[in-house]
């Protein structure tokens, strides 16, 4: 089982008692499904009631593991009034029919990223979700890290002065570890995933950059393949973003990095920050003691990751205030499409 790198910064989920909630799992193909279901089992008061997947063996496997009903048609779950919410973890190419059906049924939904195959696909789903007025959440996990919430606050309060440059990367060695050789082979097929390595891991870094810096004016990228293991799929890439605010940002992501640091650099006229190996070195002319010479440890508490926040909301201990909206997902997918088109 591959190591999931997606929650390494974040607080452990809380176990919350409350009325039993029934959730349908529609699609079990994503690499995060094992981790999601493990966290699901750690909580009382939640049950996977239905499992659908277009591959019968996979559907049967997860239905047996979760003690759920294996269904051949998603409508069986969506038409069941006892189903309180839906989790969509299918191949990306199946998101539109599944999410559209969930919206029509009026069920709250968690959809693994990316929302769609491209910007137009995601925008269509975002419009359907908005029209239905249903709660929506996705799998971006980096916002809740203490260092990232700290940096957002410092950007907002002017501690960096005018920000000029930002660098962000999110990489691992999953290709060498065989992540995409068997069960998750579809993730290295743009016809099913919409993106390759750059879009897969870069989506998280891109979410962070747009959350910090706002809308993008233009984008470009260079994509490459180090091994050719999966044909012409990109295995790594570097993007260049020009934000409407004037900030220039780079975004690196890939599956072929032997080290996997989530690194950040923010430069401004009055401040500077570097994050590497989870340590923040922060300098600001506006904050006493922020000299950048030692690790900065005065950070806020970790917040739940995207999936855990959705579960917290289902159990009544969180609001939807910090959910990532479907419209935000569509914006990010549109920018990612711009980078792929320019590569």
User: pLDDT tens-digit profile of 188-224?
Assistant: 999 999 999 999 999 999 999 999 999 999 999 999 9
* Buried/exposed 299-316: b ≥16 CB within 10 Å, e otherwise: eeebbbbbbbbbbbbbbe
Can you tell me the mean pLDDT for 321-342?
97
Contact 175, 300 (CB under 8 A): no
Question: Which residues contact residue 66 at a Cβ distance below 8 angstroms, ignoring those fewer than 6 apart?
Answer: 25, 37, 40, 41, 47, 48, 51
User: pLDDT tens-digit profile of 18-32?
Assistant: 578 999 999 999 999
Does the pLDDT of residue 1 top 70, yes or no?
A: no
Does the pLDDT of residue 315 top 50, yes or no?
A: yes
Does the pLDDT of residue 64 top 50, yes or no?
A: yes
Domains and CATH numbers, the chain: 21-138 (3.40.50.720), 146-301 (3.30.360.10)
User: pLDDT tens-digit profile of 226-258?
Assistant: 999 999 999 999 999 999 999 999 999 999 998
pLDDT in the model for residue 262:
82
């Amino acid at each position: 089982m591959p190591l999931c790198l997606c929650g390494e910064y974040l607080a452990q989920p809380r176990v919350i008692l409350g009325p039993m909630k029934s959730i349908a799992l529609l699609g079990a193909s994503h690499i995060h499904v094992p981790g999601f279901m493990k966290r699901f089992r750690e909580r009382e008061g939640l049950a996977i009631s239905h499992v659908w997947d277009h591959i019968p063996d996979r559907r049967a496997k997860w239905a047996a593991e979760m003690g759920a009903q294996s269904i051949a048609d998603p409508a069986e779950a969506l038409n069941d009034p006892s189903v309180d919410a839906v989790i969509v973890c299918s191949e990306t190419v199946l998101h539109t029919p599944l999410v559209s059906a969930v919206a029509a049924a009026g069920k709250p939904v968690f959809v693994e990223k990316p929302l769609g195959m491209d910007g137009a696909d995601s925008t269509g789903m975002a419009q359907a979700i908005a029209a239905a007025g249903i709660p929506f959440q996705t799998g971006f996990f980096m916002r809740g890290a203490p260092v990232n919430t700290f940096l957002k606050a410092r950007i907002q309060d002017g501690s960096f002065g005018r920000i000029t440059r930002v660098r962000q990367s999110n990489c691992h060695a999953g290709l060498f570890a065989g992540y995409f050789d068997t069960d998750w082979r579809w993730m290295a097929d743009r016809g099913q995933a919409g993106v390759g390595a750059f879009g897969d891991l870069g989506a998280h870094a891109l979410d962070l950059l747009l959350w910090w810096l706002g809308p993008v004016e233009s984008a470009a990228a260079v994509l490459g393949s180090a091994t050719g293991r999966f044909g012409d799929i990109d295995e790594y890439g570097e993007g260049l973003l020009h934000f409407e605010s004037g900030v220039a940002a780079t975004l690196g992501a890939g599956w072929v990095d032997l080290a996997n640091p989530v690194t950040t650099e923010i430069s401004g006229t009055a401040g500077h920050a570097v994050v590497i190996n989870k340590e923040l070195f922060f300098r600001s002319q506006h904050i006493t003691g922020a000299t950048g010479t030692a690790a900065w440890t005065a950070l806020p508490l970790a917040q739940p990751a995207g999936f855990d926040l959705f579960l917290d909301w289902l159990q009544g201990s969180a609001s939807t205030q910090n959910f990532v909206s479907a419209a935000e997902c569509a914006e990010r997918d549109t920018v990612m499409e711009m980078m792929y088109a320019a590569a």
